[in-house]
């Protein structure tokens, strides 16, 4: 738009090229990478896309997004197992619940700004964690197990790993397009205005707090959607997904990928999840290395990988 | 569900004071560091944990007991704090406060990972000093001497810190630098050194807390992260504007937690967070907070 260039669905040429590269990757990847691992990464991409909507484009830092990711998973698992809902409705249940929970969190946390906002979200998420630990429906330490995968509208059987992979591939690509569309819509422009200068945005007549709450709920809903999908893929919803470890993970993914870039969550998820995958046999080394990555990126590479690429190419990605 | 037993409630509230003392010590350090450095020290819990491990290691390798550790550990942890501030934290002062939170979060993961690598994930035992064994009969409960000591010493420590900050020339400089660092620098006070020393003092306080906690909680790598999240809620409830406010909020919430443990045990882990929500709704700036 700046140069009078058309931006169909918010895609400039560089972004379209990046997207095309990722589409090709998604198509060829299962030939050389384990599909379940790829699907896990896709879940975290969606999770991180939702988180980035909040941190990258609205300038609000949440340290409690595991609450939405984890609860989305629990609700989806509960709906599919105990209520016998089909795949679509189970995932929808998780997503709606997380959106509502996000709305509630935002309404409480919005009463303070900046650093306090981050601390409040962390504390609220810890409260959700303790509730999950004790509430009967989450299954405590065991979690909800043997969640059936079901099928899409009774047509595509998701018990088949290949069918599930292609379903996830379509979903993750659609989510990138959706988030890109939201970010580059008039609504997204207001969010970025709030991020850059909340006082100015307010003086222009925008109800800043309302936009923040909507952005937070939207972000929580996307996180819940991702958590619900993860439960479908692995057939299990556990306490890990609702714990601080997961909240930290999504922050790290965004930091490494590039906060406030469309493709940052994609790159960040691949880097961080691969790192965890290969370090997993060495137990506590995961934490140790994650800590180092955190510190190095905060101190010397705050714009992240895609952010750095943006600088080199001088294009918005 | 609700079991009202006065002796039990009083007993749990006295024990709640023990946790309250740890909340007070930690939120005090957090508030002092945030006030001057503008950094929310996520690693605060890790320094608490390191204090406990340092006490354990002093006992295992050098045979230095609890009382020696109580003197030596704050020096060690303070020294570590000096290094951390100089090497890592001071590079972030010009940036958004959130980067300070992210950096110290990374530091916390790093330190917790390192401790897990060396000591394993399980808790280690640290025994109560010999001259603190036994308990006193308070009529409604038997209070172990050691816990009574923790409460008394913790409160003395908190008020000593309050005294240094509010009543001494050193504290006056500190408060002035919190208010207007450029002006204080212009008066010839070396503000960067002051920042370093403040960080060191804040984490040393957490280290003392760790030594005090070692005989009560088991010495394990996760103890810091678990407590720091609660302390964040404490800080939100109290507001970081006032030193005395931090102390009172910490102790008060310990009592509330003890009360919940006696009356409705299932809620004891969430009650502080629930109080936080209520305070945010009714008085968003916190009980003792100034308006931002």
**DSSP per position, chain A:** -TTS---GGG--HHHHHHHHHHHHHHHHGGGTS-HHHHHHHHHHHHHHHHHHHHHHHH----S-THHHHHHHHHHHHHHHHTS---HHHHHHHHHHHHHHHHHHHHHHHTTS-HHHHHHHHHHHHHHHHHHHHH-GGGTTTT-B------EETTTEETTSHHHHHHHHHHHHHHHHHHHHHHHTSHHHHHHHHHHH-HHHHHHTT--HHHHHHHHHHHHHHHHHHHHHHHHHHHS-B-GGGGSHHHHHHHHHHHHHH-TT-SSHHHHHHHHHHHHHHHHGGGTTHHHHHHHHHHHHHHHH-TTHHHHHHHHHHTS--
Q: Residue B208 domain-assigned?
A: yes
Judged by a CB distance cut-off of 8 A, whether residue B10 touches chain A is no
* Residue A171: CB atoms within 10 Å: 18
Q: Report the residue of B49, B110, B118 to disrupt the A interface, i.e. the one with the largest count of A CBs within 10 Å.
A: B110
Of A251, A293, A299, the CB nearest to B91: A299
Q: Residue B107 domain-assigned?
A: yes
Q: Residue B124 domain-assigned?
A: no
Q: Residue B131 domain-assigned?
A: no
pLDDT exceeds cutoff 60 at B1? no
- Quote the minimal CA–CA distance from B236 to chain A in Å: 7
Confidence of residue B243 (pLDDT cuts 50, 70, 90): confident
pLDDT exceeds cutoff 50 at B292? no
* CATH classification at residue B42: 1.10.3470
- How many CB pairs below 8 A link A and B? 125
3-state secondary structure of B242: coil
Q: Residue A254 domain-assigned?
A: no
Q: Residue B53 domain-assigned?
A: yes
Average pLDDT of the segment spanning A1-26: 81
Domain count, chain A: 1
- pLDDT tens, residue by residue, A226-245: 999 999 999 999 999 999 99
- pLDDT tens, residue by residue, B171-214: 888 888 888 888 888 988 888 898 999 999 999 999 999 999 99
Of B109, B229, B276, the CB nearest to A291: B109
Chain B residue at shortest CA distance from A293:
B106
Judged by a CB distance cut-off of 8 A, whether residue B91 touches chain A is yes
Of A248, A284, A299, the CB nearest to B117: A284
Judged by a CB distance cut-off of 8 A, whether residue B113 touches chain A is yes
CB of B213 closer than 8 Å to CB of B47: no
pLDDT exceeds cutoff 70 at B291? no
pLDDT exceeds cutoff 70 at B3? no
- Quote the minimal CA–CA distance from A292 to chain B in Å: 6
pLDDT in the model for residue A85: 92
CB of A317 closer than 8 Å to CB of A261: yes
- Greater confidence (A164 vs B35) lies with A164
∠ CA A135-A139-A140, rounded to 5°? 65
Average pLDDT of the segment spanning A218-224: 97
Mean pLDDT of chain B: 89
* Residue B242: CB atoms within 10 Å: 19
- Range of lowest pLDDT (A214-223, A260-269, B130-139): B130-139
Q: Do A299 and B103 touch (CB under 8 A)?
A: yes
Q: Do A284 and B97 touch (CB under 8 A)?
A: no
pLDDT exceeds cutoff 80 at B289? no
Q: Report the residue of B101, B114, B222 to disrupt the A interface, i.e. the one with the largest count of A CBs within 10 Å.
A: B101
Of A111, A123, A283, the CB nearest to B229: A123
Burial string for A228-254 (b: 16+ CB within 10 Å, else e) reads bbbbbbbbbbbbebbbbbbbbbbbbbb
Average pLDDT of the segment spanning A88-105: 96
pLDDT in the model for residue A5: 56
- Quote the minimal CA–CA distance from A39 to chain B in Å: 26
Q: Residue B121 domain-assigned?
A: no
Taking the C-alpha atoms of residue B194 and residue B207, their distance in angstroms, rounded to an integer, is 20
Which residue matches tokens 């993860």?
A230
* Residue A87 domain boundaries: 29-243
- pLDDT tens, residue by residue, B247-281: 999 999 999 999 998 888 888 889 999 999 999 88
Q: Residue B3 domain-assigned?
A: no
Q: Do A61 and B98 touch (CB under 8 A)?
A: yes
CB of B46 closer than 8 Å to CB of B111: yes
- Greater confidence (A236 vs A4) lies with A236
Residues in chain B: 292
Q: Residue A12 domain-assigned?
A: no
- Quote the minimal CA–CA distance from A195 to chain B in Å: 13
Q: Do B97 and A120 touch (CB under 8 A)?
A: no
Q: Residue B129 domain-assigned?
A: no
CB of B266 closer than 8 Å to CB of B62: no
Confidence of residue B2 (pLDDT cuts 50, 70, 90): low
Which residues does chain B have within 8 Å of residue A108's beta carbon, measured at their own beta carbons?
Answer: 277, 280-281
Q: Do B277 and A244 touch (CB under 8 A)?
A: no
Is beta strand A156-157 parallel, antiparallel or unpaired with respect to A151-152? antiparallel
Average pLDDT of the segment spanning B102-122: 92
Q: Residue A121 domain-assigned?
A: yes
Judged by a CB distance cut-off of 8 A, whether residue B233 touches chain A is yes
Of A111, A114, A291, the CB nearest to B106: A291
Average pLDDT of the segment spanning A30-53: 95
Residues 6+ apart with CB under 8 A from B266: A134
pLDDT exceeds cutoff 60 at A2? no
Of A131, A134, A284, the CB nearest to B116: A284
For chain A, what is the radius of gyration of the CA atoms?
19
pLDDT exceeds cutoff 80 at A7? no
Q: What distances in angstroms separate CA A259 from CA A64, A311, A313, B9, B245, one per listed residue? A: 17, 13, 17, 49, 36
* Residue B220 domain boundaries: 9-114+136-282
ipTM comes to: 0.90
Domain count, chain B: 1
Sign, CA dihedral A291-A292-A295-A301, equals negative
Chain B residue at shortest CA distance from A61:
B98
Taking the C-alpha atoms of residue B56 and residue B115, their distance in angstroms, rounded to an integer, is 12
Q: Residue A263 domain-assigned?
A: no
Residues in chain A: 317
């Amino acid at each position: 738009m700046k140069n009078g260039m058309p931006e169909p669905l918010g895609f400039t040429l560089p972004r379209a090229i990046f997207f095309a590269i990722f589409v090709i990757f998604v198509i060829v990847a299962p030939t050389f990478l384990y599909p379940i691992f790829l699907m896990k990464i896709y879940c975290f991409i969606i999770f991180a896309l939702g988180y980035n909507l909040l941190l990258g484009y609205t300038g609000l830092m949440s340290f409690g997004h595991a609450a939405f990711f984890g609860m989305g998973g629990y609700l989806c698992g509960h709906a599919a197992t105990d209520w016998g809902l089909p795949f679509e409705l189970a995932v929808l249940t998780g997503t709606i619940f997380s959106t509502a929970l996000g709305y509630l969190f935002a309404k409480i946390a919005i009463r303070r700004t900046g650093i306090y906002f981050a601390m409040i979200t962390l504390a609220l998420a810890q409260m959700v964690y303790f509730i999950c630990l004790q509430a009967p429906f989450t299954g405590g330490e065991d979690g909800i197990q043997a969640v059936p995968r079901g099928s899409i509208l009774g047509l595509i059987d998701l018990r088949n790993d290949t069918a599930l992979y292609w379903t996830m591939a379509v979903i993750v690509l659609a989510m990138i397009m959706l988030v890109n569309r939201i970010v580059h819509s008039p609504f997204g422009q207001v969010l970025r205005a709030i991020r850059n200068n909340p006082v100015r945005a307010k003086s222009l007549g925008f109800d800043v707090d309302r936009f923040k709450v909507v952005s937070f709920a939207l972000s929580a809903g996307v996180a819940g959607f991702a958590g619900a999908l993860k439960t479908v893929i692995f057939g299990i919803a556990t306490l890990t997904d609702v714990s601080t470890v997961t909240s930290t993970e999504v922050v790290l993914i965004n930091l490494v990928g590039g906060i406030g870039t469309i493709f940052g969550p994609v790159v960040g998820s691949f880097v961080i999840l691969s790192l965890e995958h290969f370090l997993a046999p060495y137990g506590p080394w995961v934490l140790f290395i994650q800590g180092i990555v955190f510190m190095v990126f905060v101190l010397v590479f705050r714009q992240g990988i895609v952010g750095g690429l943006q600088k080199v190419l001088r294009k918005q990605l | 569900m609700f079991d009202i037993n006065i002796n039990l409630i009083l007993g749990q509230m006295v024990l709640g004071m023990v946790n309250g003392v740890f909340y007070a010590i930690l939120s005090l350090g957090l508030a002092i560091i945030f006030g001057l450095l503008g950094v929310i020290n996520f690693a605060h819990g890790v320094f608490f944990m390191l204090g406990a491990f340092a006490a354990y290691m002093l006992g295992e390798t050098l045979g230095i007991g609890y009382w020696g550790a109580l003197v030596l550990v704050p020096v060690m942890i303070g020294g570590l704090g000096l290094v951390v501030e100089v090497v890592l934290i001071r590079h972030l002062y010009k940036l958004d406060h959130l980067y300070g939170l992210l950096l110290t979060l990374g530091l916390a993961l790093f330190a917790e990972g390192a401790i897990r690598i060396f000591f394993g994930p399980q808790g280690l035992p640290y025994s109560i000093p010999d001259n603190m064994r036994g308990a006193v009969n308070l009529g409604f409960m038997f209070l172990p001497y050691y816990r009574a000591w923790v409460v008394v010493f913790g409160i003395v420590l908190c008020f000593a810190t309050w005294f240094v900050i509010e009543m001494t020339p050193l504290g006056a400089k500190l408060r002035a630098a919190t208010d207007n660092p450029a002006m204080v620098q212009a008066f010839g006070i070396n503000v960067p050194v002051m920042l370093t020393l403040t960080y060191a003092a804040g984490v040393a306080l957490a280290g003392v807390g760790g030594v005090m906690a070692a005989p009560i909680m088991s010495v394990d790598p996760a103890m810091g992260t678990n407590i720091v999240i609660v302390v964040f809620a404490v800080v939100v409830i109290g507001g970081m504007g006032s030193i005395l406010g931090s102390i009172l909020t910490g102790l008060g919430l310990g009592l509330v937690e003890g009360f919940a443990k006696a009356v409705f045990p299932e809620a004891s882990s969430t009650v502080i967070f629930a109080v936080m929500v209520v305070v945010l709704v009714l008085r968003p700036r916190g009980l003792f907070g100034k308006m931002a």
